[in-house]
Amino acid sequence: MVDFGFGLVPSSRINLDLFDKGKYEELAALEPDVRICMACGSCTAVCTAGKFEPTSLREAIEDIKNARADKALQMLEPCQLCGKCSMVCPRGINTRHLILSINKIYSEK
């Protein structure tokens, strides 16, 4: 095999078989709109809190899919639930309800 002098860093490898999809499935059962999100980033672009703090619903959904709940909750923490993201969502997702559902699922023990 030819060695081109580069390779994957072990920390960037993701084994999707190790992830527990339980919380994502629980979220999808509670809020089915999460499945129709196309990750366009419109919500992030208009976010008022995003101008001051790193916040992104799109990234939070991807983090939940990849079982990184701590990072997802950190991305949603600055959210002020203003509703701008709901107004610009091309799929018409009720993003405020989605964010509240995410917080509800992860606050339950």
Residue 8 has pLDDT above 80, yes or no: no
Residue 61 has pLDDT above 60, yes or no: yes
Residue 78 has pLDDT above 80, yes or no: yes
Helices 69-76 and 95-107: crossing angle, nearest 10°?
130
CA 65 to chain centre: 7
Geometric angle at alpha carbon 56, from 53 and 58, rounded to 5°: 175
φ, ψ at 84 (rounded to 5°) = -60, -40
Q: Which residues are CB-neighbours of 106 under 8 A, at least 6 positions away?
A: 23, 69, 73
